[in-house]
């Protein structure tokens, strides 16, 4: 397991950025361990060091480690074995941290998980408008990287998204649609050290626009589910601003609170 450390922060909450809630220290530890599991640094069967050793490794109190491990155990990613210790199971909630890498909340009508394929339609750069600049805490007119992407399930379009990031934070991000990584959250973590720590969504319904009908194969009149999403990094700063527009004719949106 890689050496890790959590920066010294107040134990009662960290990362209070624009619009973001403080994140407890144990959550930072929990996310680092979960991410190590999800990207394969700690494969199933890995036995974690003892609580004191982990506390020294992450630079936190034993109580903080104990709380993080308890949450990961409750979520199914870890299990306690007598005489062995804490072991990685390889299991996770459908809506747990793994969805921060494969983030797709539409399920089949029978509740089944769906395999979707993403296609980036365009990658452009444009100046931030005042409301966007305020959310990102940057100057008006700051260049934003803007992606337009569509997702398909079994070849049928189900959702298209417009995704914005501050261009200067992701210097070198692919500008050719075919070269954009399929898992953007994971790419941000691996390439830029930007860890998505919290996601805030506003869900509404609207009449499908002409673009919606064209991209999603809908006939007029039709309705779409609209998900306005703000994704915050480990410091509490807004990292991604997105809008997803989906058809729920054969699917439904699922959210789980644990």
Q: Render pLDDT for 123-164 as a digit per residue (tens, 0 to 9).
A: 999 999 999 999 999 999 999 999 999 999 889 999 999 999
Q: pLDDT band at residue 103, thresholds of 50, 70 and 90?
A: low
pLDDT of 50 > 70? The answer is: yes
Decide if 40 contacts 31 (C-beta within 8 A).
no
Q: Render pLDDT for 75-99 as a digit per residue (tens, 0 to 9).
A: 788 999 988 899 998 665 544 544 4
How far does CA 5 lie from the centroid of its chain? Answer: 21
Among residues 160, 180, 156, the alpha carbon closest in space to that of 170 is found at: 180
Q: How far apart are CA 249 and CA 223, in angstroms?
A: 9
Q: How far apart are CA 34 and CA 210, in angstroms?
A: 41
Strand boundaries in the chain, DSSP class E: 78-81, 85-88, 106-108, 116-127, 143-153, 156-166, 196-207, 223-233, 238-246, 251-253
Q: pLDDT band at residue 20, thresholds of 50, 70 and 90?
A: very low
Q: pLDDT band at residue 9, thresholds of 50, 70 and 90?
A: very low
Decide if 129 contacts 135 (C-beta within 8 A).
no
Among residues 93, 134, 131, 89, the alpha carbon closest in space to that of 113 is found at: 93
Q: How far apart are CA 178 and CA 155, in angstroms?
A: 17
8-12, 140-144, 241-245, 247-251 — which is least confidently predicted? 8-12
Give the predicted TM-score (pTM) of the model: 0.66
For 184, what's the count of Cα atoms within 13 Å in the CB-facing half-sphere?
25
Predicted confidence at residue 102, as pLDDT, reads 53
Higher pLDDT: 248 or 10? It is 248
pLDDT of 209 > 90? The answer is: yes
Decide if 222 contacts 247 (C-beta within 8 A).
yes
Task: Centre a 10 Å sphere on the Cβ of residue 7 and count the other Cβ atoms it contains.
Answer: 10
Predicted confidence at residue 90, as pLDDT, reads 66
């Amino acid at each position: 397991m890689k050496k890790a450390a959590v920066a010294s922060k107040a134990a009662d909450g960290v990362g209070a950025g624009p619009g973001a809630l403080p994140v407890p220290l144990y959550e930072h530890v929990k996310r680092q361990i979960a991410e190590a599991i999800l990207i394969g640094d700690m494969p199933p069967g890995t036995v974690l060091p003892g609580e004191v050793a982990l506390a020294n490794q992450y630079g936190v109190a034993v109580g903080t480690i104990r709380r993080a491990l308890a949450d990961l155990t409750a979520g199914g990613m870890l299990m306690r074995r007598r005489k062995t210790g804490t072991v990685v199971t390889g299991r996770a909630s459908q809506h747990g941290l793994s969805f921060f890498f494969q983030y797709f909340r539409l399920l089949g009508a029978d509740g089944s998980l769906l395999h979707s394929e993403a296609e980036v339609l365009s990658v452009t750069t444009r100046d931030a408008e005042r409301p966007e600049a305020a959310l990102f805490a940057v100057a008006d007119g700051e260049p934003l990287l803007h992606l337009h992407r569509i997702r398909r399930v079994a070849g049928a379009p189900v959702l298209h998204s417009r995704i914005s990031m501050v261009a200067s934070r992701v210097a070198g991000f692919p500008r050719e649609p075919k070269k954009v990584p399929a898992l953007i959250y994971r790419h941000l973590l691996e390439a830029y050290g930007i860890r998505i720590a919290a996601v805030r969504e506003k869900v509404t319904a609207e009449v499908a626009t002409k673009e919606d009908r064209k991209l999603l194969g809908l006939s007029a009149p039709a309705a779409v589910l609209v998900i306005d999403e703000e994704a915050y990094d480990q410091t509490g700063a807004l990292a991604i601003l997105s809008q997803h527009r989906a058809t729920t004719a054969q699917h439904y949106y699922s959210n789980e609170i644990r």
